[in-house]
Amino acid sequence: MHLFSDFKYLLFPTRCFGCRELGYSICSQCRKLWNPHIYQSRISNLTVYSAIPYSPVAKNILLAAKEQNIKSADLLVLAALRASLQGLLQKHSGCALVPIPSRSSSNRRRGRDFIHEIAISVAKDFGVAVLPLLTHQRIIRDQSKLNIASRRENLAMALTVKPEFPGNYSGEKVVILDDLVTTGATINEAYRALTRGGFKVQAAATACVALRRRE
């Protein structure tokens, strides 16, 4: 059994998914960079609570979780979101979490709805509900290669509240949940759609934040 494990390691050596160096799944240097602190930014009159500055290492960890389904990367994202939500939910109690929906093509490629799964896991820690209220009402492009203006145009009027949610949910206090905030276009559109649907958006929480957009 040990011989098989050693042979497997030679063929598929473990690499840090933060920097790709041989060794542990996350090395000590990258682990230092994934050290949750609270960062606050403002979007659409909302306070956005985030825990990790976006960096090349943070990008690789998010991709390892979202695109490669690496469990240890999922756990790092969960730890960051717990830190973001800790103070937020003390200030805004009684809120449900609303995950940002991924594109259907992304969910099919990954084999799961990443943010929805993460939301369910982190909600258990705080004893709050998850309401997957939002859906895309038209096709959107991949945001990752778009500039600020293009991202806003791409997402304008793209989200809506799912029709299967009955009217008695209207007025519910909610917190928007996502893995990353960069330009704020996604959270801004989610805020618009939820507010139009009658929901009271209290704040937003993300694992990572691009520090250049902080106020």
Query: How many residues make up the chain in this entry?
Result: 215
* Average pLDDT of every residue of the chain: 84
Task: Give the mean pLDDT of 140-145.
Answer: 66
**Statement: residue 118 has pLDDT above 70:** yes
DSSP 146-210: --HHHHHHHHTT-EEE-TTS-GGGTT-EEEEEEEEESSSHHHHHHHHHHHHTT-EEEEEEEEEE-
Confidence band for 61, pLDDT divided at 50, 70 and 90: very high
Domain over 35-213 is classified CATH 3.40.50: yes
Residue 11: per-residue pLDDT: 43
pLDDT, tens only, 172-210:
999 999 999 998 989 999 999 999 999 999 999 999 999
Residue pair 86/117 in contact (Cβ under 8 Å)? The answer is no
Cβ atoms within 10 A of the Cβ of 156, count?
14
Pick 168 or 95 by higher pLDDT: 95
Distance CA 109, CA 132 (A): 20
Confidence band for 8, pLDDT divided at 50, 70 and 90: very low
For the ranges 16-30, 63-77, 146-160, the one whose mean pLDDT is highest: 63-77
The CA-atom distances, in angstroms, between 17 and each of 5, 26, 124, 186 are 20, 6, 27, 26
Nearest alpha carbon to residue 73 among 59, 85, 83? 59
pLDDT, tens only, 200-215:
999 999 999 998 754 4
Distance CA 186, CA 190 (A): 6
- Residue spans of the domains in the chain: they are 1-33, 35-213
